[in-house]
Amino acid sequence: MVTDARLREFAFGQWEGLTWEQIVRRFPEAAQFGFLSVRDYRPPGGETLDVVKQRVGAFLDALSAQDGTAVVVSHAGALHAALAYLFGDAYFQWKVRLMPASITRLCLAPDRPPEVISLNELDHLGAEPSA
């Protein structure tokens, strides 16, 4: 197993450890974006999506240059950043809420565009995704 800090979750700064309700109470300006508007997050002292996309994108570029198959485990925020990095703003039209313990399978190769094989897969858990 190899760990890579580029796959860590968003640094949420002053939002760290708070529920969305607590964030909105303490930082009312966050309410205008909504819980699922990750590309609009501006946590004081934390990271924006663009910053996370840069670090996750550097990992993906290095990974796609290698031969073979890899299993990558990360948080939902890093996966949102990865998909936004790979597919640009079109990714946000998918309006997907990544579920805990879900599996997303991608095909990354230096000689072709990225491909989504499966997204937010939960079959291994024996459960259906909830809205």
Say what the pLDDT of residue 131 is.
55
**Domain assignment present for 107:** no
User: Mean pLDDT over residues 68-96, rounded?
Assistant: 91
> If you average pLDDT over every residue of the chain, what do you get?
90
3-class SS shares of the chain: helix, strand, coil, % to 5: 45, 15, 40
> Does residue 129 lie within any of the structural domains?
no
Q: Which residue has the tokens 């860590």?
A: 8
pTM for the model stands at: 0.85
| pLDDT, tens digit (0-9, with 9 covering 90-100), for 98-107 | 899 999 999 9
66 falls within a domain: yes
Answer with the residue of higher pLDDT: 95 or 62. Answer: 62
Write out pLDDT tens, residues 27-77.
Answer: 998 888 876 677 888 899 999 999 999 999 999 999 998 888 999 999 999
Helix/strand/coil (H, E, C) string of 46-77?
CCCHHHHHHHHHHHHHHHHCCCCCCCCCCCHH
Residue 123 lies in a domain: no
Residue 34: inside a domain, yes or no?
yes
Q: What is the CATH number of the domain that holds 9?
A: 3.40.50.1240
What is the residue range of 38's domain? 5-100
- Decide if 111 is inside a domain: no
Residue 85, pLDDT > 60, answer: yes
Q: Is the pLDDT of residue 128 over 90?
A: no
Contact between 13 and 44 under an 8 Å Cβ cutoff? The reply is yes
Where in the chain does DSSP place strands (E)?
Answer: 103-109, 112-121
In a domain, 116, yes or no: no
Contact 63, 70 (CB under 8 A): yes
Instruction: Indicate the number of domains in the chain.
Output: 1
**Which one, of 118, 81, 73, lies nearest residue 100 by Cα?**
73
Nearest to 5 by CA among 62, 77, 66, 74: 74
Has residue 37 been placed in a domain?
Answer: yes
